[in-house]
Structure 1
């Protein structure tokens, strides 16, 4: 990950020994809106709304596994919903998805399609290595668009400065903006490695198609190994 690495804490290993994460880094071009991407998003939403019922959402494997990790860490997943679950619920409630920018919208589509809660960050804003640990009481975390978030008991990625991402929300400090040219995308597999390759390939395809992604590198981190591709 451009001379950085991801360290998985012992606590995460204990509650989710099968945890896998795909870390995609690439150079990108962001823009405020991509009509082709939104055609795909709207088509997916239409299909999803006719296929799923509200009670089906938290049984999707990736969402279910993330919720179980929350419960094992003492966090209520109904109060602090994983982002993938929250997005799916918006569709079934008939609420429009937020339109942010091409990169964020793209990541949301992957999250909807796969059920993974995905972190999207401006790589240039991250300082040092990342560690996936557990949020602590009173830890400051300015969630994007929602203010201070109580991350106690949530899985949280931290860099040398502090928290940057949880499955519920990412942090303002390292968020994607219109100026982002280097992307870090983390696909978090609390359900293990099954389907993670497909989600990664789908993400890379969309990044090439809608964000002119180049210099793409993918690293898979597990509780005991690291592998690379692309």
Structure 2
């Protein structure tokens, strides 16, 4: 799996990884422990009142305003939305083991993570690019929408992700998923090293589900 980045000049970059041989049908105690530890760590380290001023959150908020033209108080960065939930005393949502592991990594390193079922992706080469007028995106939990000049992660005729906050139902991870593409989304002001650490941490979590890396973590 290869990702080609056509919009790096906008401060967009990713770390990505492929994990295979995953058993996503059941939670294992060690994974549950790691997820709970990430939640407790976030609650110790961060405050709901000052979260918006954290330099990493600030970088994503600035990207929303300046590059995407989105008000981040109305459409919050994905990791900020998760952290706000946790800091209000609520648990992380339970979706399935792989997605929950991704959410744990997201709040631990304060970056958004996309997870995609490789069996549902129609190409081995993906591009981060601007959408073309008339392309249709089918979001998880929403209605299909027509895109016009938005930054997306896409294969041939298939939109996986609106960068960096919304994933497609077409490639979502389910209990039957065995092979996962992990994409950690970066913006200007966030170090590449943070994305790499996130990817390797998530690799460790997915190993608890039998996951095996299918190569090195890469940057694009």
Same fold at TM > 0.5: yes
Q: Retained in 1: the 8 A contact 2:17–2:213?
A: no
Quote the residue 2:172 is aligned against: 175
**1: CA distance between counterparts of 2:77 and 2:17?**
20
Quote the residue 2:154 is aligned against: 158
Provide structure 1 residue ranges, at least 5 long, that are not aligned to the other structure: 223-230
Residues 1-230 of structure 1: matches in 2 within 5 Å?
Answer: 1=1, 5-9=2-6, 12-16=7-11, 19-27=12-20, 28-71=22-65, 72-128=67-123, 129-135=125-131, 139-148=135-144, 155-166=151-162, 167-190=164-187, 191-209=190-208, 211-222=209-220
Offset, 1:196: 2.4
**1: CA distance between counterparts of 2:47 and 2:153?**
32
State the 4+ residue runs in structure 1 displaced beyond 4 angstroms: 135-139, 148-154
Q: Retained in 1: the 8 A contact 2:42–2:107?
A: no
Paired residues, number: 214
Quote the residue 1:226 is aligned against: none
Q: Retained in 2: the 8 A contact 1:122–1:181?
A: yes
Offset, 1:183: 0.7
Aligned to 2:216, the other structure's residue is in SS state strand
Q: TM-score, normalised by structure 2?
A: 0.85
Provide structure 2 residue ranges, at least 5 long, that are not aligned to the other structure: none
**2: CA distance between counterparts of 1:149 and 1:96?**
30
The Cα offsets for residues 30-72 of structure 1, whole Å up to 9 and x where unpaired, read as: 1243343222222332332243212432344443322222222
Q: Retained in 2: the 8 A contact 1:70–1:153?
A: no
Q: Retained in 1: the 8 A contact 2:5–2:13?
A: no
Q: Retained in 2: the 8 A contact 1:107–1:118?
A: yes
Give me the CA root mean square deviation.
Answer: 2.4
Aligned to 1:78, the other structure's residue is in SS state coil
Q: Retained in 1: the 8 A contact 2:15–2:217?
A: yes
With over 3 angstroms needed to count, the CA separation of the structure-2 counterparts of 1:70 and 1:152, relative to structure 1, is farther
